[in-house]
Amino acid sequence: MIILPKEVAGEIYAHVQESYPCEGCGILVGALADPKKVVKSYRAVNLNQERAQDRYLMDPADIARAEREAADMGLAVIGFYHSHPDHPADPSQFDLRQAKQITDAGWPPIYSYLIIAVHNGRLEDINSWVLNVSQGEFEHEDIKTD
Ligand SMILES: [Zn+2]
């Protein structure tokens, strides 16, 4: 379970709707308690210009900044979000590969991957996923908005 406060959700929704028809992406900062709690979101630049409709590559500088500011607040990067313009809020094979690369690089599989479906520029659906390393696939994670 991941707790997503309404005001943070609102910022994420605004970002991904503005990004349409490209993918918008960003970083989730919060507390790694059980359940996880998002405190703040950071917009990231999508460096993938050629396929910005269905790919994203977050600017590492944006991730580094979020990590620094999270540490200053006694928090951590707990996940990432990105949108699927005119596609369901389910992870693609590309999303799975990216998540596996992160754990293969030695990061613990703690991250939540929020995927937001945006249809015709309007918010349609949101899901959260966590990587199950032993099974090599994503598991659905409940989102609680408060
Ligand atoms: Zn995706």
Q: Note the pLDDT tens digit of each residue in 74-127.
A: 999 999 999 999 999 999 999 999 899 888 888 888 999 999 999 999 999 999
The model's pTM is 0.93
Between the CA of residue 4 and those of 21, 76, 136, what are the distances in Å? 24, 15, 26
Q: Ligand 1 centroid to 55 CA: how many Å? A: 7
Q: Ligand 1 centroid to 59 CA: how many Å? A: 16
Q: Ligand 1 centroid to 100 CA: how many Å? A: 13
**Residues 56, 22: Cα–Cα separation, whole Å:** 9
Burial of residue 131 (CB within 10 Å: 0-12, 13-18, 19+) is buried
Instruction: Please give the class, per CATH, of domain 2-145.
Output: alpha beta
pLDDT at 76: 95
**Residues 5, 99: Cα–Cα separation, whole Å:** 24
Q: Ligand 1 centroid to 134 CA: how many Å? A: 21
Give me the residue spans of the domains in the chain: 2-145
Measured between alpha carbons, how far apart are the two ends of the chain, in Å?
Answer: 13
CB 37 within 8 A of CB 2: yes
